[in-house]
Structure 1
């Protein structure tokens, strides 16, 4: 114990650059335990939680590759082979009769694109990715569905029987197109930006929906389409409450769409985040969607590009180090993560572990 206290004291006296290496070591150890868990949890056919379709497998494989595994690693190679079995004639990558075609294809695109960009790519995925891009753009709500830019559905993507567009699906669409190298000049990205802007509780030239003034806090909610809905519920005046995961998803999507840091939409989103900065819960949602929240938190702040983030009290947070510490604290002895709140399948350790790895990949 005495030796350990002496070692701690010596570390405390070291220069900041040396101290900064400690979170990296913790990150690497946390990732190593997660990789060991996922190697053991993989099914013989290469899948993870196949009852939910191909999406969880794609998220796991992307998380593994983003943390250093290559496409020829046996665990990753099996996931890629499994995913290839879901490529459909229409270009989508989804399960038969799936109501989640946009979501499943978007995460598959990110996975296969990540593999394609590796020097160890087992095959050329160019045709598969090109077909998937056409498919995704065909799902986006626009004139082909009878909606013009005045429609609250315009530019969005969704799932379900009627495919009502929502911010989560639209954020996955923007991220998939971003992975493929599509930028602000892409018409699909600009259509998505119009929808994303309308999911923000901020009245502006980009958002004249009746919801924009009822809350006005700069955060984001689920969808303004089909009468509007927020997973965090409504206010007494009929406003749609902002919440954490959607606010980070909205901010990330705007940055990918070329919205600059001085734009009032970005500034308002940052202000909301500053007031609700936390790693303890999904703000305004509690434990629901917690690991989804952490992965959007990490991706959005990485897109912002700042090493620290100031909360509303002016406290500067080294968000990467804080996120690493939180995930290390929550990791189970088996190396996985699991949310006791079953909503959105996060009680499945494969899904929550995939989200955690995707978050840790932004902390390198």
Structure 2
């Protein structure tokens, strides 16, 4: 082999190696993420902090959704840790914290993933009952025209929001709730009012100010969005909450021809991207990736046609995007450290859960 041939061969090999390194497969990403979480687990079975079971619950779910068995040592240790948060009232949470709905929802879903042999039947049933008691409805003295009605918040006396409500519905769904379940239909009332869409289902003060079909954080207690307000007081829509709203509507049995669903689908087509959490930049980006993937899976959408007519195979694009963001130690982390996304344990869980919908 002459020098020129040798140089060309080495260059081709180098390019191939570089391309391979830049584009890890779904399986490679998943295995690397799992290995990172194995190595970052504390001796007590937790991650990040032993008194924050929501984080450990998400991570445990991500490992189970990545096809680790219940008797895997890492998973078994994590489940034992989560079991220590089961409370006499049926909830599964840190009693000294303020995230009772969130933590119970997350851990219920982890237990459901680990429940093939029925070992968590009792805990799931009790947790479901506890969550139903947290929903803002007649039990709190509310009438159906109250903007808090049907929603779920972090816990007692904390106004409901779309993030907690989507986890609430995820948990009820995991526990076996059907679309006509009264709690699901009450949640639909709240969700419809968190949409920027004036309709018979939404006559709030915010409904028509933007009217783009997207969703914001909450219509309750005067309303709030994490994406900022318009000059006329409108609450801007953003990506993660729009996908959360769309998924929640699907759980409640709404079809694609429903005016609310059609408007939400139009919004995600207009703002389709994996570069940012639309409306929020990089804030909450991995929460967005997980919600994005789960929603499109629930809707059984293999492709999304963006506003310019481009058809996106979202699974392929998401695997590619997450592959480009994975760090050499197998973790993911968000440089925009908001909502705990500076924590590689939590963010790796979000990424693994998102990838689990790309199989």
TM-score normalised over the length of structure 1: 0.92
Equivalent positions of 1:237-316 (< 5 A) are 237-316=232-311
Partner of residue 42, structure 2: 43
Deviation (angstroms), 1:195: 0.5
2:76 equivalent to 1:81: no
The 3 A distance-change label for structure 1 pair 99 and 318 is: same
Partner of residue 29, structure 1: 28
The 3 A distance-change label for structure 1 pair 270 and 4 is: farther
In the aligned structure 2, how far is the partner of 1:184 from the partner of 1:242? 25
Partner of residue 5, structure 2: none
Partner of residue 102, structure 1: 101
Deviation (angstroms), 1:354: 0.5
2:190 equivalent to 1:204: no
Partner of residue 341, structure 2: 346
The 3 A distance-change label for structure 1 pair 124 and 213 is: same
Q: Secondary structure at the match of 1:227?
A: coil
Runs of 5+ unmatched residues, structure 1: 10-22
Runs of 5+ unmatched residues, structure 2: 1-7, 17-22
Q: Secondary structure at the match of 1:251?
A: helix
Partner of residue 142, structure 1: 137
Deviation (angstroms), 1:3: 9.0
Kindly provide the CA deviation profile for residues 309-340 of structure 1, in whole angstroms up to 9, marking residues without a partner as x.
10000100000000000001100001000011
2:125 equivalent to 1:126: no
* Larger Rg computed on CA atoms: 2
How many equivalent pairs are there? Answer: 345
Partner of residue 12, structure 1: none
Deviation (angstroms), 1:234: 0.8
Deviation (angstroms), 1:42: 0.3
Deviation (angstroms), 1:162: 2.5
Q: Secondary structure at the match of 2:210?
A: coil
Partner of residue 92, structure 1: 91
Deviation (angstroms), 1:231: 0.6
Deviation (angstroms), 1:51: 5.2
Deviation (angstroms), 1:341: 1.3
Deviation (angstroms), 1:130: 0.6
C-alpha contact 2:134 2:155 (8 A) present in aligned 1:
no
Kindly provide the CA deviation profile for residues 92-118 of structure 1, in whole angstroms up to 9, marking residues without a partner as x.
00012221000000000100001003x
Partner of residue 113, structure 1: 112
Kindly provide the CA deviation profile for residues 154-203 of structure 1, in whole angstroms up to 9, marking residues without a partner as x.
00000266321000000000011111121112111001111011100001
C-alpha contact 2:51 2:94 (8 A) present in aligned 1:
no
